[in-house]
Amino acid sequence: MAEERRTRSTEAFYGRRHGKTLRPRQGAALDAFLAATLIDLEKPSPAEISELFSVAVTSVRLEIGFGGGEHLLTQVERYPETGFIGVEPFVNGMAKLAAAAEEGEAGRPSNLRVYDDDATEVLDWLPEGCVEGIDLLYPDPWPKKRHWKRRFVSQVNLDRFARVLKPGGLFRFASDIDTYVNWTLMHCRVHPAFEWVAQSALDWRTPYEGWPGTRYEAKAIREGRPPAYLTFRRL
């Protein structure tokens, strides 16, 4: 079962891995979904990352911590010529994506692969300069100062992003927590591989093209926490 895969200590994932216990039908559906889409990091990464997918793709994008998969699945369906890798260690989030993917008009998409553990393992496994974009959308903000070291945005992980992104590739970060937005701006500003592409406040106040919104985002807006949508280019 999917739950049995949680065996290793992780470098960058500190959150919960389990929510409500999955019903037998949900668990069976999740296992079937993972059997078809889960990336096996025990195998060497392919020389051409497009080989991960059963259909021809012209580019590959990575989403880290996709939650319930609202944004990821929207992108997968909108860009069938692009391959997507989604990483989510939270079992219930992966189960939501599995159910939504199976219920889609085309059934389980062929341009989607997933990983259900620490994203740093995927980043270290991927070939150099292989992805066009990395999305980190509403990550856990770890608001207490003593926990800031747990935030996924760090110089070490930006080094990882820089290694796997193609020149000109985009790192997109969205959050409603102003301290994490400022933290990310600061870290990217001092990293030599990234530049912030915003020209005006409208750029970071406007959602990304095709942005579907999420339940978490709607709650944040209701509670008076306006989101910021940052985009950085790999130099």
The predicted-structure confidence for 31-83, as pLDDT tens digits, reads as follows 999 999 999 999 999 999 999 999 999 999 999 999 889 999 999 999 999 99
* Catalytic one of 31, 40, 140, 203: 140
pLDDT of residue 9: 42
Residues in a beta bridge with 84: 61, 112
Paired strand residues for 131: 165
Residue 127 reports pLDDT greater than 70: yes
Q: What pLDDT is recorded for position 224?
A: 95
pLDDT of residue 163: 98
> Which tokens belong to 101?
């993917």
Summarised one tens digit per residue, pLDDT across range 176-201 is 999 999 999 999 999 999 999 999 99
3-class secondary-structure state, position 232 = strand
pLDDT at 1: 40
* Rounded (10°) CA dihedral 142, 148, 154, 157: -50
Contact 137, 70 (CB under 8 A): no
Residue 195 belongs to what H/E stretch?
Answer: strand 194-196
**What integer best gives the mean pLDDT of the chain?**
90
Phi then psi dihedrals of residue 24, to 5 deg: -50, -40
229 vs 146: CA distance, rounded Å = 25
How many angstroms separate the Cα of 86 from the Cα of each of 13, 71, 110, 165, 201? 15, 10, 13, 15, 29
140 is catalytic: yes
Does 11 score more than 60 pLDDT? Answer: no
Per-residue pLDDT, 166: 98
Task: Provide mean pLDDT across the span 204-211.
Answer: 95
Residues of the chain with pLDDT > 90, as a percent, come to 80
